[in-house]
Amino acid sequence: MLMIRFQRIGRTNDPAFRIVVLEKERAAKAGNIVELLGTYNPRSKALTLNEEQVKHWISKGAQPTGSIHNLLVNKGVIQGKKVNVLPKRTPIKKDAPAAPTSEVGAPTESVGAETPAA
């Protein structure tokens, strides 16, 4: 299956991305792309995109990733709702036993409070 996804380029701490079409099983860094559709710089928000080719590949069955889908919806290339791409938060388990607490008003023993008689 074909995917439309980001391929990271650029220096360390200065990301830039190519928007490419490639097989889903291939790694984006491998360089075995089917077609280059555009570029995106997240710092300057600069986007160059061949909209006709994007629509062509989507009509052929290529699936955009969540981030690409949201970018295309923002730019008006495709219609639809945005997709939540953030990972799900794991809920805090409330049924886990808490640390034992002492009863209110009960005296607590402290270690080393008693001194032995000499």
pLDDT confidence of residue 8: 93
Mean predicted confidence (pLDDT) in 95-106: 63
Give strand pairing partners of 14.
11
Higher-confidence residue: 60 or 102? 60
84 Cβ partners below 8 Å, 6+ apart? Answer: 66
The CA distance from 93 to 14, in Å, is 39
Structure tokens at 116: 């032995």
The three-state secondary structure class of 110 is: coil
Q: What is the CATH number of domain 2-75?
A: 3.30.1320.10
Tens-place pLDDT, residues 6-33: 999 989 999 999 999 999 888 877 778 8
pLDDT confidence of residue 118: 58
The pTM for the full model equals: 0.70
The CA distance from 47 to 54, in Å, is 13
Q: What are phi and psi of 91, to 5 degrees?
A: -70, 150
* Annotated domain spans of the chain: 2-75
Sign of CA dihedral 55, 20, 15, 68: positive
